[in-house]
Structure 1
Amino acid sequence: MSKYTEPAKQLLENIGGSDNISVVTHCATRMRFVLKEPKNANVEAIEAIGLVKGTFTQAGQFQVIIGNEVSSFYNEFIKLAGVSDTSKDEVKQAAKQNMNFLQRLISHLADIFTPLIPAIVVGGLILGFRNILGDIKLLEDGTKSIIEVSQFWAGVHSFLWLIGEAIFHFLPVGITWAVARKMGATPILGIVLGITLVSPQLLNAYSVAGADEIPVWDFGFAQVEMIGYQAQVIPAILAGLLFSWLELNLRKIVPNSISMIVVPFFSLVPTVLIAHTVLGPIGWQIGSFVSDVVYSGLSSAFGWLFAAIFGFVYAPLVITGLHHMTNAIDLQLMSELGGTNLWPMIALSNIAQGSAVLAMIFINRKNEQEKQVSIPATISCYLGVTEPAMFGINLKYGYPFLAAMIGSAIAAVISVGSNVMANSIGVGGLPGILSIQPKHMWMFALAMLVAIVIPFILTLIFAKANVGKISLKKAK
């Protein structure tokens, strides 16, 4: 009998037994359940299990935080429960039965952008490194950049743009692929669709404003402008959705004998035409409007208020899953402005949550059992993964969560007030500074310091004032 056997038995009993499990899987730190009757789960008893660091419900899934041991624990659990191994995609599909319309919309957005995040994070780091090499006068008494002095680094600077351009300029290819994959259409045709939006034949989106003449396809009775949609988010989403809808519906009515020929042709060709005549221009205008509204709000006289509110509520948004909507806004800001002032606030919120847990480590330094949760949670939080910290410690006590929200709000005001911009979405914790545009790094470092110090001090003050007294007694 392994060390996971008894905790697994306890979880199975308090989850409502095998009969209450519709499907189950796990991710890096959590067990993910879709329960037939969520109300039958005894949350208090589950959270009292030694290996369990917290629970929460999101997107129709009941999630139990285990930590880095989740894989071994999961294998023991499914053996005892008599349930089969299930993929995360199957869990998401089953979870829809417990989701309302808004939750389903957010889930769809998450499924589209989540596969793209690793590439975007890498791209942001590359852009930041290129800016340090080429845009900051670091050498010869502040008169020359590194690439002006070193041919080697000039070559590196030029070479890295190959990757940066592939990630950001050709982002619509990734989006149309992700949409097709999500909707159940043919992914390779989604890729082809994306390429038609960014083809070298087209006038680059960044050159449209200064172009003397825009090339056209001339059909005699009509002309279509040959404009590319490099880095555009909404045109790619709309095109991907139309293509997927056409393909899936054509499959239903076209005989299998000719499906291989008819379905790809009559789903892809009309989509490309409509994308360049209708969806592209409309999507571009919508995207520009969204980015203008967000940027105007953050750069206006009341930008500090917007920043304070966003910094304060971002952590609660993570609990609801609404934070996934910020990915599309960040990408649109990057397309329109060459960077985003929204994402730095997200990184600061994550840091603030980790700092509140750090204070709890100090407060409960004699509690060896809690250290097993709080120390890994702090490290994880500072590296951008907040769930173990939020659900394992901060929400359990309450006041550390509030302290982190306040610290995040103050740090966000400093960030926005200093016009801090990130090259792209990055690692949402301390390493996030590598994605910040070089000229803003010092101010972001100051905001990071605030996000570390303020939540730590406030957590100590709240604990001294006996805020959350019941929780503290329970922990002892």
Structure 2
Amino acid sequence: MDFPQIAKQLIEKLGGKENISGVAHCSTRLRLVLNDDSKANKEAIEQIEGVKGQFAVAGQYQIIFGAGTVNKVHAAMTEILGLGDMTKSDIANLSAEKQNFLQRLVKGLADIFVPIIPAIVAGGLLMGLANVFTAQGLFIDGKSLIDAYPNLSDLAAMINTFANAPFVYLPILLAFSASRKFGGNPFLGAALGMLMVHPDLLNGWGFSAASLSGNIPYWDILGFHIEKVGYQGSVLPVLAATWILAKLENTFRKVIPSVLDNLLTPLLALFITGILTFTFVGPITHKLGFLIGDGLTWLYDTTGFIGGAIFGALYAPIVITGMHQTFIAIETQLLADMAHTGGTFIFPIAAMSNVAQGAACLGVMFLIKDAKVRGIALPSGISALLGITEPAMFGVNLKYRYPFIAAMIGSGVSSAFIAFFNAKAQALGAAGLPGIISIKPDSIAVYCIGMLISFVVTFSITLLLGMRAKRKAN
């Protein structure tokens, strides 16, 4: 490939240098911020060598090249444009100026939760490993591994401790990440997170039992009873408290003389936020968080396969809008309160949708004889089966429409199946074939059958719709 030539063609078809205000790349896509998206010649861009697809989302114009190619195209473009190195964060901040309130909200949640996903994934997968030792009948009829081999009990207990750590101290991770997003000092945010899980407080997971027995500890201050309750595994209280902390910190830095700034600003910001957290903000948002989690779990359990079918069919269109980023916050809450919720139902449905996108893409490869299309469809389809759907969705399925429709149907059918059997995940991860390690042990068989249904139904419908489209064209 002649990468400088590809870069020149791209710049020309994107409306020229003056229309490009930023460019960066991820593992497969070139991410650009254009001053005017309408100046991009989509048809001409599709014909440029190496281009596997394109789409505009959240203020960014993204062009799919694939791993190993995109970085070379990016290097050639930045040299011509003279923009220098820009990160994905730089592009995200630049594109935020073009976003509406809802898009900015989604981006904000993603910016907070995406950095902590590795910790949540590690904790969830370790929890799955711990469950292998304790699950009854998984390997031995009527017994768990530690029942059959008691010498493994300490190993299981140690793994369980490792697994629980990210969820017990989730407020610290969240507060650190959220403070950075809200413009505050992330270490001051971490201190607030530590305050919310201090060992002197009643463990947040023991609140319900203490409430029923009437044994909730409290501080008696000036006649006010302030509950001494921790916020282990909480999401909304931490986000709300951290936002207040960041606003107070920035306000104090503006009004307090610089000579006293480092002394008084953190003191006042943390003290006032702490008071507000335990008196008003924490109790209210804690209850709200439980209501959201309980509401979603109730909706999933009550609507059963119908709700699963609707969510599964609509998951891919939600991904196109970028709204799926908000699911990270919801899933984190569901996983943090797993003893109550049983895990997250969103992850398995996302996997059904991703497998369907992969199956549709592979169906296109069988139908269309064009070498370029087949060259894009095969790796994109495999990538989607492994959990990365952008090349398949934007490079093939949406382009021809009928594969995308087939994928929605296949995802809906398979999601109805797994919802009927109440399949849930105990961790986040790659939503596709590798996602099996994130699924609860008692849901693994249902998950695997669901993926098979998703693939077969989608692939078959893609072939049927594709042959019908060919007949109409002829």
Task: Give TM-score, length-normalised by structure 1.
Answer: 0.94
Give 5+ residue unaligned stretches, structure 1.
none
| 1:8-407 pair list within 5 angstroms | 8-68=7-67, 69-140=69-140, 142-150=141-149, 153-211=152-210, 212=213, 213-300=215-302, 302-334=303-335, 335=337, 336-364=340-368, 366-407=369-410
Q: Counterpart of 1:385 in 2: which secondary structure?
A: coil
Q: Deviations over 1:306-340 (max 9, x none)?
A: 21111111101111111112122222223241411
Distance 1:24 1:222 in 2: 55
Secondary structure of the residue that 2:240 maps to in structure 1?
helix
State the shift of 1:469 in Å.
6.4
Contact 2:342-2:424 within 8 A present in 1 as well: no
3-state DSSP of counterpart to 1:404: helix
The answer to whether the Cα contact below 8 Å between 2:127 and 2:164 also exists between their aligned partners in 1 is: no
SS in 2 for 1:67: coil
TM superposition shift of 1:463:
0.8
Range with bigger deviation, 324-333 or 152-161: 152-161
Aligned to 1:393, the other structure's residue is in SS state helix
Q: By how many angstroms is 1:429 displaced?
A: 1.0
CA-CA distance at 1:65 after TM superposition: 1.1
* SS of residue paired to 1:218: strand
Distance 1:67 1:155 in 2: 46
1:457 deviates by 0.6
Q: CA deviation at 1:467?
A: 6.5
Structure 2 residue aligned with 1:447? 450
> Matched residues in 1 for 2:97 and 2:345: separation?
36
SS in structure 2 of the partner of residue 98 of structure 1: coil
Contact 1:123 1:168 survives alignment (8 Å): yes
Distance 1:283 1:338 in 2: 21
CA offsets, 1:210-259, max 9 Å, x none? 22412222324322111111111111111111111111222222222221
Q: Structure 2: where are the runs of 5+ without partners?
A: none
The separation in 2 between residues aligned to 1:451 and 1:123, in whole angstroms, is 28
1:262 CA displacement: 1.5
Give the Cα separation in 2 of the matches to 1:72 and 1:194. Answer: 42
Q: Relative to 1, partners in 2 of residues 1:47 and 1:468: Cα closer, same or farther, differing over 3 Å? A: farther
Mapped to 2, the partners of 1:29 and 1:468 lie a distance apart of 35
- Identical aligned residues as a percent: 39
Q: Deviations over 1:266-297 (max 9, x none)?
A: 11111122111111111111111112221111
Q: Secondary structure at the match of 2:124?
A: helix
| CA distance, structure 2, for counterparts of residue 279 and residue 243 of structure 1 | 12
Whether contact under 8 Å (1:18, 1:83) holds in the other structure is no
Residue pair 2:125, 2:163 contacting (<8 A) in 1 also: no
Q: Is the 8 A contact 1:308 1:412 kept in 2?
A: yes
Specify the SS of the correspondent of 2:51.
Answer: coil
Q: Which amino acid aligns with 2:456?
A: V
Counterpart CA distance in 2 for 1:325 and 1:432 is 20
C-alpha distance in structure 2 between counterparts of 1:351 and 1:61, whole Å: 26
- Report the counterpart of residue 4 of structure 1 in structure 2: 3
Q: Report the aligned-residue RMSD.
A: 1.8
Q: Aligned with 2:18: secondary structure?
A: helix
Structure 2 CA distance for partners of 1:139 and 1:97, relative to 1, 3 Å = closer
Task: Kindly state the Cα deviation for residue 192 of structure 1 after the two structures are TM-superposed.
Answer: 1.1
Cα distance in 1 for residues equivalent to 2:314 and 2:261: 49
The one-letter code of the counterpart of 1:126 is L
How many Å separate the matches in 2 of 1:30 and 1:462? Answer: 29
Q: C-alpha separation between the residues in 2 aligned to 1:250 and 1:186?
A: 13
| Mapped partners of 1:406, 1:81: distance in 2 | 43
Paired letter, 1:350: N
1:421 to 421, 424, 434: 424
Partner of 2:32: helix, strand, or coil? strand
- Give the Cα separation in 2 of the matches to 1:248 and 1:46: 45
Matched, 1:460 2:463: yes
Deviation at 1:113, TM superposition (A): 1.1
Counterparts of 2:375 and 2:183 in 1: how far apart (Å)?
42
Cα distance in 2 between the residues matched to 1:107 and 1:124:
24
Aligned to 1:438: 441
The separation in 1 between residues aligned to 2:268 and 2:204, in whole angstroms, is: 27
Q: Secondary structure at the match of 1:209?
A: helix
Q: Compare 78-87 and 224-233 and name the one that shifted more.
A: 78-87
Contact persistence 2:421–2:446 (CA under 8 A): yes
One-letter code of the match for 2:306?
L
Partners of 1:26 and 1:72 in 2: CA distance: 10
Residue by residue over 1:62-90, the C-alpha shift from the partner in whole angstroms, topping out at 9 and shown as x without a partner, is 11111102112211111122221112222
C-alpha distance 254-469 of structure 1, shift in aligned 2 (>3 A): farther
Q: How far does residue 442 in structure 1 lie from its aligned partner after superposition? A: 1.1
Separation of aligned partners in 2, 1:177 and 1:444: 35
**Structure 2 Cα separation of the partners of residues 344 and 222 of structure 1:** 46
Separation (CA, whole Å) in 1 of partners of 2:43 and 2:118: 36
Distance change (3 Å), C-alpha of 1:467 and 1:348: farther
More displaced stretch, 150-159 vs 30-39: 150-159
Shift of 1:180: 0.5
Q: How many residues align?
A: 467
Q: Indicate conservation of the 8 Å contact 1:418/1:443, yes or no.
A: yes
Conserved? CA contact 1:399–1:468, under 8 Å:
no
In 1, are the aligned partners of 2:171 and 2:233 still within 8 Å (CA)?
A: yes
Deviation at 1:452, TM superposition (A): 1.1
**How far is 1:181 from its partner?**
1.0
C-alpha distance in 2, partners of 1:45/1:216?
A: 67
User: CA separation in 2, counterparts of 1:379 and 1:173?
Assistant: 37
